[in-house]
Chains A and B, each alone.
Chain A
Amino acid sequence: MSAQALLVKHPTRLFLLLLLFGVFGSRPCPAALPEVQIKSAYVFNFIKFVVWPAAETKPGKNKLRLCVIGSSELYASLSVLDGQRVGEYRLDVVRPGGDDRLRACHVLYIGELEQKRLVAIIKSLGNAPVLTISDIPGFAERGGGIGLLNRNDRMLFEVNLAATRKAGLQLSGQMLNLAANIFGK
């Protein structure tokens, strides 16, 4: 009988194991999650650590527009957050129709499908207060805000401060401390 079946048949053992590892488990958590969930969780966390210019979001009143382009998978995953509160904001998860509507986003996630138009999208945002996030390789180096990168099957992030500064965004120092790389300091 496999260990798994044993555990299912004997809930007490499961509980004991749970207790044992919950209490004494000293090794780092090795659990794995699907990539799209890790990316979604990152996006959700970044929102907590960023302050938009005062005119853009009035806490408690305005919605925070979280836009996703170039990845229907990530859009589907982030849709779970639609209508949820993050601190003072209420999230509105949208898939903007045209490039002219991107400036109205507070957060813009650019999926791999838009890889070829990346620079054009970044340029079209100008100085608009949009936090751009993407998993496209070299995103932060190429003028994006926050890039997600896969390093040895762990997902890390890097920040281009020159880009977020240009957008008038404030990123918390706590978040920057965890960044794998910071460009444009």
Chain B
Amino acid sequence: MKKFSIRCALLASLLATSITPPVAAEEQTWPELSLGDLMKVGIESAARKSQSLSNTAAAVFVISASDIRRSGALTIPEILQLAPGVEVARLGNNKFAVSIRGFNGRMANKLLVMVDGRSIYSSLYGGVIWEAENLPLEEINRIEVIRGSAGLAWGSNAVNGVINIITRRTQDTVGWLVDSHAGSETGKAGLAVRYGAKADDGSAFRVTVNDQRRDGGKEVNGREVQDFWNDTSLTFRYDRPDGIDTRWFFSGRVFDSHSDETWLTPTFDPAAMYDASQYGAAKIDTFVSQRNGGDLLGRFERNTDGGGEVRVQTYFEKFQGTVSGTGNTHSTFDVDAQHRFPLGESHDIVWGGNWRQTNHQTRMQPGGYLTTSEPDTAVNLTSLFAQDEWTVLPHTLSLQAGARVERQTYGGTASQPSVRALWTPSEQHSFWFAWSKAVRSPNVVQSTMGANAVAFPAGAAPAILIYAAPAGQNGFGNEKVRTVEFGHRAQWTPTFFSDLSAYSSKYEGTFGLLSQSTVPNSALAGPGGDPACDATLASFGLAAGTPGLCITHQYGNAMPVRTRGVELTSEWNPLPVWRLQVNASRMWMDAGAGTPYAPDALQYGSSPKYQGALRSSYNLSPDRQFDLWLRRIGGLSHADQNRGASLAAPIAARTELDLRFAEQVNESLELSLTFQNLLSRNEIQFHPDYSPTLPVVPQRTVYLKALWHGL
């Protein structure tokens, strides 16, 4: 024992006097350690993925709580950049586009995101309203990022991937925690206060109050944009183990989020136009998007006598959002049950079902950018699934097959089967293969809402109003995808790990333009003009007697799309105190080849062809950390590769650099200084899509953070 303490002290002294790491002890002394010592000994980081991860026949990446803290990121989308192949672009200080394997957008609808099993994928827009998802970051235990189709396990919309955000058990969050920061831009100010306590029977609870404030960004021309984001929430969680076999879990939150947004809404009135040379026929409309709501979740888990597990979970959620006079209120009720049990020596069966209903009430501002054909609508979802995992050779070969059958109000009935195989020839290597089918269900906006856009060319050309009709009128149904993937994971040495995956996906019937019809107004065609068109143009400020055209776009299941790609993540620990991570991905997309359909610029040019990241986590001493995060994201071409046409202005590739220094001042206080976006140039990262948002340039951010915990 004595011997060990002396060595510990020596290690400490070496680390304190030099950043040269200590040599590993030659002799094994672990049997001499007492329980008390063990609780104090640090765990040496190793470039080793957990065994359970290496035993998954899918492209999975896990972001740990320590990764989150060391990344310096303040929002979930920024944290997701830690995972390979996740596309994250900022449309401003409060708006994000997040996707996996293509189709990025502010409402990227082929990625399912869940918090503790509660879907935060919006059935209104499709995609995630990230402004409303401001979970206190210290609550997160880990984030599992699954790339590829996972409809069998998670249901519809898990087309290109699933992100599972898993919060910490309350048993691990006992005592007080204060997480505060102050700085510039998106790091302006934040305060989260948490209190947790546990009882003698092993049950525990926590309550957290969280308030975050972010400043507005700038336009490309340097003008300040009203782009702030203030957000307050109260979250709680209660865990209760009940005897040996049963566990209960309850959680909930209430939140209130205000994010400023500036829209460029259509107008023909030259006097009202904002900056016609840059933004065309649009007037500025600044407003506060207000979103508030709450949710309650309960889960019951029990071990059955046959060696299986039963899990029943239910949640209720209420959400209210107002954006530019358009209001949506919805409430969701969801029940999910699943049962897992071993069958014989080598089969593991999982089966279950899910039922969800969301009632939407949408109120439009008359004469605005959006119209709705169904102000009140209910979206129902029912599904059943079963899968078998067959261990053909223990720890060497396993096969998995199953299917989910699902019925959704707009999409109808669809099946989502999947077959996977995992081969682990040695402890150092594993290979996997997967074939799967998944669907993306239509959402309320695409099915029932229309949108207006205008163009007001100079000279004698007619003014144009484009109306995108609700796709529901054209029988818009599920988008389908078939994906083939394979992967290889290898532990080359105890300090070097790599994970490679490749995929090929074929999409059918992705949302797109089917046809268009054009009618002239009376000023252009005289008596042949359409009076309805006259009225519509006038409502957008077109002066009487000005020639104009009304174009109606019909949307529906259009485009076949094909994507292929490779993704790599690797980790190397050159020294016990130094961890290096490299991620890289490359994607090829081919939209609409051989069909009459023209791809939608914002949908198909919106993902980078390549991206890569290097992350270095260095412990300068046991109490000091230095983190560097360098990212390179390929440009967005916005070009139709089959026709050679440019559909929107291309966006340049960008390089981003974040730095973080942290010091553990004493056992309960950590101070850190983070610099984000250090290489930022005066360029936007993404064209606004869906909403006509004014493009905003993300700025450099610096903030100081104090993390204190006590009993």
A binding-site residues for B, Cβ under 8 Å: 2-4, 7, 17-18, 20-22, 25, 27-35, 37-38, 40-42, 44-45, 49, 70-72, 80-81, 111-113, 115-117, 119-124, 138, 141-143, 149-156, 158, 160, 162-163, 166, 175, 178, 180-185
A34 CA / B42 CA spacing, docked (Å): 9
> Among the listed B14, B200, B342, which residue makes an inter-chain contact with A117, where contact means beta carbons less than 8 Å apart?
B342
B28-53 CB mask vs A (1 if < 8 Å, else 0) is 10110111111111111110001110
- Tell me whether A29 and B245 are in contact (CB under 8 A): no
List chain B residues, Cβ under 8 A from A151. Answer: 172
Pair A44/B31 contact, Cβ less than 8 Å: yes
CA distance A184 to B4 in the complex (A): 35
B7 touches A112 (CB 8 A): no
CB nearest to A150 among chain B residues: B43
Q: Which B-chain residue is minimally distant from A163 (CB atoms)?
A: B244
Residue B654 at the A interface, CB < 8 A? no
In whole angstroms, how far apart are the Cα atoms of A113 and B391 in the complex?
A: 13
Return chain A residues, CB-CB under 8 Å to B171: 158, 180-181
Binary A-proximity of B328-362 (CB < 8 A = 1, otherwise 0): 00000000000000100000100000000000000
Q: Which B residues are in CB contact (< 8 Å) with A22? A: 5-6, 9-10
Complex contacts, B247 vs chain A, CB 8 Å: 141-142
Please determine whether B389 and A116 come into contact, CB atoms closer than 8 angstroms.
yes
* Interface contact B202-A182, CB-CB below 8 Å: yes
Q: Are A35 and B46 in contact (CB under 8 A)?
A: yes
The answer to whether A4 touches B22, judged by C-beta atoms less than 8 angstroms apart, is yes
Given contacts A115-B52, A156-B39, 10 further A-B contacts (CB under 8 A): A3-B14, A30-B12, A31-B41, A32-B44, A38-B38, A41-B33, A141-B169, A142-B301, A149-B172, A178-B36
Q: Contact partner of B303 among A7, A41, A44, A122, CB < 8 A?
A: A122
- B576 within 8 Å of A (CB atoms): yes
- In the assembled complex, how far is the CB of residue B619 from the closest CB belonging to chain A, in whole angstroms? 9
Give residues 26-84 of B contacting A (CB, 8 Å): 28, 30-31, 33-46, 50-52, 55, 66
Measured CB to CB, the closest approach of chain A to B6, in angstroms, equals 4
**Among candidates B30, B37, B46, residue contacting A29 with C-beta atoms closer than 8 Å:** B37
Is B33's CB under 8 angstroms from A4's CB?
Answer: no
Category for how many chain B residues contact A = 35 or more
B202 adjacent to A185 (CB under 8 Å): yes
Check A29 against B8 for contact (C-beta < 8 Å). yes
Please report the C-alpha to C-alpha distance between residue A184 and residue B52 in the assembled complex, in whole angstroms: 27
CB distance from A164 to the nearest CB of B (A): 10
Q: Nearest residue in B to A21 (C-beta to C-beta)?
A: B9
Residue among B8, B204, B622 facing the most chain A CB atoms (10 A cut-off): B8
Q: Tell me how far the C-beta of B469 lies from the nearest C-beta in chain A, rounded to whole angstroms.
A: 49
A12 to B98, CA, bound (A): 59
Pairwise interchain contact A38-B202, C-beta atoms closer than 8 A: no
Q: Are B44 and A34 in contact (CB under 8 A)?
A: yes
Partner of B42, one of A42, A154, A156: A154
A40 vs chain B, min Cβ distance (A): 6
The docked-state distance in angstroms from the alpha carbon of A163 to that of B50 is 26
Closest A-B pairs by Cβ, 6 of them: A120-B307, A21-B9, A183-B202, A29-B8, A3-B18, A32-B42
Cα A35 to Cα B38 with chains together (Å): 11
Instruction: Give the chain B neighbours of A155 by CB distance below 8 A.
Output: 38-39, 41, 43
Cα–Cα distance between A22 and B8 once the two chains are bound (Å): 9
- Tell me the complex Cα distance, A173–B8, Å: 28
Chain A CB within 8 A of B15 CB: yes
Q: Does B458 contact A (CB under 8 A)?
A: no
Chain B hits for A4, CB < 8 A = 14, 18, 20, 22-23
Q: Indicate whether A42 sits within 8 Å of B11 (C-beta atoms), given known contacts A120-B342, A123-B305, A143-B303.
A: no
User: When chains A and B are docked, how far (Å) is the Cα of A77 from the Cα of B684?
Assistant: 54
The answer to whether B23 and A37 have CB atoms under 8 Å apart is no
> Is A113 within 8 A of B30, CB to CB?
no
Q: Which of B214-271 contact A (CB under 8 A)?
A: 239, 241, 243-245, 247
